[in-house]
Amino acid sequence: MNRDTGCLSGVRQVTSPNCDARPENSTIDLLVLHGISLPPGQYGGDEIERLFTNTLDPATHPYFEELRDFRVSSHLLIRRDGELVQFVPLHLRAWHAGESSFQGRSRCNDFSIGIELEGCDEQPYEPQQMDVLVAVIQELMVAYPALSPERIVGHCDIAPERKTDPGPAFDWEELRGRLASA
């Protein structure tokens, strides 16, 4: 990882305009895992990239009309096939968490890195996604020493009234076990 640019090495970069500067003196000390599929339950298209770059055409699917004015992003996306895509440099604030709170601190975007997994609440994530996720988390914990396995949460944990992702199909036990044995 390049600390100056906030970009991971060897990762496809797709620039999202949906980001801004983190508050001064903020420390990155939280990882937020998300699940996303567009349209819901469908995988492999470019719709997630289009959503994060404000180029999603609402006319291409009825569900997209609900997303017409959304301005969202994530730092990283792990596709079903394990491809890793970066949208926002890690030192910038991506707009992934919305109204959120962790251990009494609101505005989780200020101090977190958002990682999207292409998937949905009800379907298991792919083994290659977990492989990439574990490797990325290990790299992030080296780059940002305030991160730890105990500071990895789901979107559902920081916005429980609004969000359910990454959902019951995400294997938290496997993630924590693999991080502990690394």
The residues that are catalytic are 116
90 phi, psi to nearest 5 deg: -65, -25
Q: Given its phi and psi angles, is residue 121 left (phi above 0), alpha (psi -120 to 50 degrees) or beta? A: alpha
Q: Which of 11, 26, 10 is nearest to 107 (CA)?
A: 26
Asked if residues 70 and 63 have their Cβ atoms less than 8 Å apart, the reply is no
Helix axis angle for 127-143 and 172-181, nearest 10°, is 50
Q: Given its phi and psi angles, is residue 180 left (phi above 0), alpha (psi -120 to 50 degrees) or beta? A: alpha
